[in-house]
Structure 1
Amino acid sequence: MTQLLVRYSRILEIIGDIVKVHVPTPEGDEVSEIGYGDLALIENTLDPDQPPYMAQVIRIDRDEVSLQLFSGTKGLSTRAGVRFLGHPMQVTFSPNILGRSFSGAGRPIDGGPSLSEEAKIEIDGPTVNPVRRVLASRMIRTDVPMIDIFNCLVESQKIPIFSVAGEPYNRLLAQIGAHADADIVVFGGMGLIFDDYHFFRQAFEEAGVLARTVMFVHQGSDPVVEGLLVPDMALAVAERFAVEEGKRVLVLLTDMTAYADALKEVGISMEHVPSNRGYIGDLYSQLARRYEKACDYKGAGSVTILSVTTMPGDDVTHPVPDNTGYITEGQFYLHEGVIDPFGSLSRLKQHVIGKVTREDHSQIMNTMVRFYAAARDAEQKQAMSFDLTEYDERLLRFGQLFHDRFMDIRVSMPLEQALDLCWQTLAECFEPRELLMKESLVSKYFPKQRASVDFGTGA
């Protein structure tokens, strides 16, 4: 690792986890040999035996450089020496990282062997040239019916799960990672408690996908700056697997609101002028730089990004979900433990529905949602004590079956099985002529024998 051997011992001030250093330059010129995002080592001269502090350049103002420390400034003296390493944060990349877990600083946290001899790559590089991008045309199956049937996840898509604290969004994310037909899953967690990290790792291990999974985990007790590095490390590794090895990579990130809060905390320490609700003014740009890493590469693999964005107070106008909605290509809305078909949207689903999926996919999707909307109207009539017709009763029955069989995130089944179950559910509640679908599809897929309904199990 190349290091700049010149030491700068004049630390101007220490504010929180921010250290401001004076770097001598000829006649007060701009610092030239130090770049934004470069790493630095701070060696405490009061205790030579103490390991050096790792820091990252987050601001350069002529001859004044601001450093964000990874492990906090406790015990640090203004007489400490600073050495700049001449390169930004790097992450280990090799086939040997599969099945491993790393901290937000890139250190192994799974008790496995050291990977210090493996190749390193820089994080947070530029997004791919649009000329090298391929139009999305392939589907990533998740075995979650509300996604595979109604809002397909498409390769190279960037899409968030909008939810609120307390909802089982981590369970949903783990289920998708365990069943998705991607070649490699890269997981990035920010602000997780240890139980969450253990839950994800155990879920991947029990599903037999841990050997093709890489995990980058920032826990709530870790330094804030490490949380900022997690998405960049995860996406840098995903890009390499996609470009150099032609892999279909699914990146799972949770929680991007915690990432934005970390940006806000650093901005406050830097005394930046706050924007909406105290967040940094370039929040949109910071989020977009990460989400735009999603890409289907010409002649190579692809990177697909599925993230969690929690909405404080269930407020979709909060700056984080609001900015995210402008960047991403739809959203999955997780509400009251189920994926809401009305709040969810995949803007790329038309590229795969009926093209790489079964011929009846489009019609069955529209018909199921149409009847579920009618079922919700029937529920309103029932709640207001209006008289219900026999057709209303059948709508209510359909709505209950739809909720139990498809909306519950614990339900997992292949797409073709889910489509067959849609036909079966329709057959249990309606006559073929009531479906208003293509006669050829009804003749081919409508069950010849209509099963009875069991309200206790929803089967």
Structure 2
Amino acid sequence: MPVVPVRYDRVLSIVGEVVRIALPAHDQDDSSGPRYGDLAVIQDVDGEARLAQVVKLGAGEASLQVFGGTQGLSTRSHARFLGHPPRVAFSGNILGRVFSGGGAVADGGPSLDQDPQVEIAGPSANPARRKLASRMIRTNVPMIDVFNSLVESQKIPIFSTAGEPHDALLARIGVEAEADVVVFGGLGLTFDDYWRFRSTFEDAGVFARTVMFVNQAADPPLERLLVPDMALAVAEHFAVEEKKRVLVLMTDMTAFADALKELGIAMERVPSNRGYLGDLYSQLARRYEKAASFEGGGSVTILTVTTMPGGDVTHPVPDNTGYITEGQFYLRDGFIDPFGSLSRLKQHVVGKETREDHSAVMNTMIRFYSGARDAERKQAMAFELSEYDRRLLRYGALFKERFMDITLSRPIEEALDLGWKTMAECFSPEELLVRQNLLDKYYPAAPVA
């Protein structure tokens, strides 16, 4: 669509990052006038141009959020509408490239202005085109692959707190996961965090199949609203048009929600829970529901980090997220918590795409680890420990060492074999309460005493 040539000179107000522009009466009913979501360019009296987006259309006015900030703008500024919503480059040339939160090339490489552009923030895929999730994405992280398998087309967050190694875990998964394309979205990252992600992908040799959209802490906060939409638009096109298995990694969705709150305050919208707006659930769901497997095409799987301020899982962002996603991974004290974590789609792949003993190993190991936690509490309270309690304590220590360390890298078959070995070192076959045919096939012939 060609650029709308009309210049709008009447600025009604500037509040926070939002500029209100008066619209002529004919524009309110004219299809050539601005539409919700359209981009605009605001120019100050010195000629500096800044990108903005229509976030509200009212009687005789349009509200624009300015991504570069409104500092230096005055009521003598003017706006021109571009006639289209935000777009992002999409072609094979974007692989191995880094883009800013506004979609501009940010790695010093050649411009992609001549490449095809696709609109972002479109509707979710037609449910009729989706197919049931049935393929596992191997990550080589034992606590994920064995106990809460990640399934293609799944949407799942990592619930974490400040100081936890969630970014290191996310980068690990990006490097080792079975995926044709990895699309990374960073929201409010420090430069060190951004460079750590990029270096990890480069050092592992996977950067050539990775696309990065990064909003750094020093960049305009409102650009964080664009990052998820750009990442997901690119992911959808790779999945549908190129039939690729795409893994989308984003950190941190709490920063995205905070940017939404900041915009709502500037627009004087009535806040809901803890200052967040009433449509927080819808805004999050609109992004997460992009996860899908397509008939005759590829898939989009979404794995995000959601930090919980103060470790509070009832905070509006993790609370709303939990109702949208298909499980969660809890990261506590540097470990993926086996009790709080859950993958609601793992039953589609456990024992079907994986070995027949997967379910038995998973359930039995967690049962013994639960007993080990109880034995630890008895020991802490100076209760007398039985011989079985001491074996549980030994098992708990081995379980943490061999499975819970997020830096470990083991194929699931190797992890299952190690699970049998670990249980055999602490318990007799009868104590496992596992089917005899599985014991005959997988229980070590000469367990260590």
TM bin, normalised by shorter chain, reads: over 0.9
Q: d(CA) in 2 for partners of 1:215 and 1:451? A: 47
User: What residue in structure 1 maps to residue 442 of structure 2?
Assistant: 445
Number of aligned residue pairs = 449
Using the TM superposition, give the Cα deviation of residue 35 of structure 1 relative to its aligned residue in structure 2, in angstroms: 1.1
The offset of 1:224, in angstroms, is 1.7
Q: More displaced, 337-346 or 70-79?
A: 70-79
Aligned to 1:382: 379
* Cα shift at 1:265: 0.4
Answer yes or no: is the 8 Å Cα contact 2:38–2:85 preserved in 1: yes
CA distance in 2, matches of 1:400, 1:25: 73
Between the aligned partners of 1:260 and 1:412, the Cα distance in structure 2 is: 33
Shift of the 113–27 alpha-carbon distance from structure 1 to 2, 3 Å rule, reads: closer
- Per the normalisation by structure 1, the TM-score is 0.96
CA contact (8 A) 1:42 1:83 kept: yes
Q: CA deviation at 1:14?
A: 1.1
Aligned mate of 2:78, from 78, 81, 89: 81
Contact 1:375 1:399 in 2 (8 A): yes
| Unpaired segments ≥5 residues, structure 2 | none
Q: Deviations over 1:1-42 (max 9, x none)?
A: 720001111111111211100010239758862111100011
1:141-152 map, 5 Å: 141-152=138-149
20-29 or 383-392: bigger deviation? 20-29
Using the TM superposition, name which of 53-62 and 234-243 deviates more.
53-62
Matched residues, percent identical?
67
Paired residue type of 2:190: I
- Matching of residues 303-342 of structure 1 within 5 Å: 303-342=300-339
Structure 2 residue 167 is matched with structure 1 residue 165: no
Q: Which runs of 4+ in 1 moved over 6 A?
A: none
- Contact kept, 8 Å, 2:158 with 2:305, in 1: the verdict is yes
**Alpha carbons of structure 1 residues 388 and 218: separation in structure 2 relative to 1, 3 Å:** same
Q: Does 1:34 align with 2:29?
A: no
- The alignment partner of 2:13 has SS state of strand
Match of 1:101 among 98, 101, 104: 98
CA 1:30/1:59 → structure 2, altered by over 3 Å: closer, same or farther?
farther
- Check the 8 A contact 1:31/1:63 in 2, yes or no: no
Distance 1:326 1:105, change over 3 A: same
**What secondary structure is seen at the aligned counterpart in 2 of 1:86?**
coil
Corresponding letter in the other structure for 1:47: D
Find the counterpart in structure 1 of residue 245 from structure 2: 248
Relative to structure 1, the CA distance from residue 245 to residue 316 in structure 2 (aligned partners, 3 Å threshold; closer, same or farther) is same
RMSD, matched Cα: 1.3
Per-residue CA deviations over 1:428-447 (Å, capped at 9, x if unaligned) read 11111211101111111111
8 Å contact from structure 1 (residues 242, 302) kept in 2: yes
For 2:226 and 2:28, the matched residues in 1 are separated by: 32
Structure-2 residue corresponding to 1:186: 183
Q: Summarize the Cα distance change of 1:414–1:66 in structure 2 as closer, same or farther, 3 Å threshold.
A: same
Between 382-391 and 226-235, report the one with greater CA deviation.
Answer: 382-391
Counterpart for residue 367 of structure 1: 364
Question: Residues of 2 paired with 1:380 and 1:336: CA distance?
Answer: 18
For residue 82 of structure 2, give the secondary structure of its aligned residue in structure 1: strand
CA distance in 1, matches of 2:429, 2:234: 51
After TM superposition, the structure 1 = structure 2 runs for residues 277-316 of structure 1, keeping only pairs within 5 Å, are 277-316=274-313
**Which of the residues 166, 181, 192 maps onto 1:195?**
192
1:65-106 CA distances to partner (integer Å, 9 max, x unpaired)?
Answer: 001111111222312221100000000100010011111101
**What letter is aligned with 1:154?**
V
Instruction: Give 1:189 deviation, angstroms.
Output: 0.7
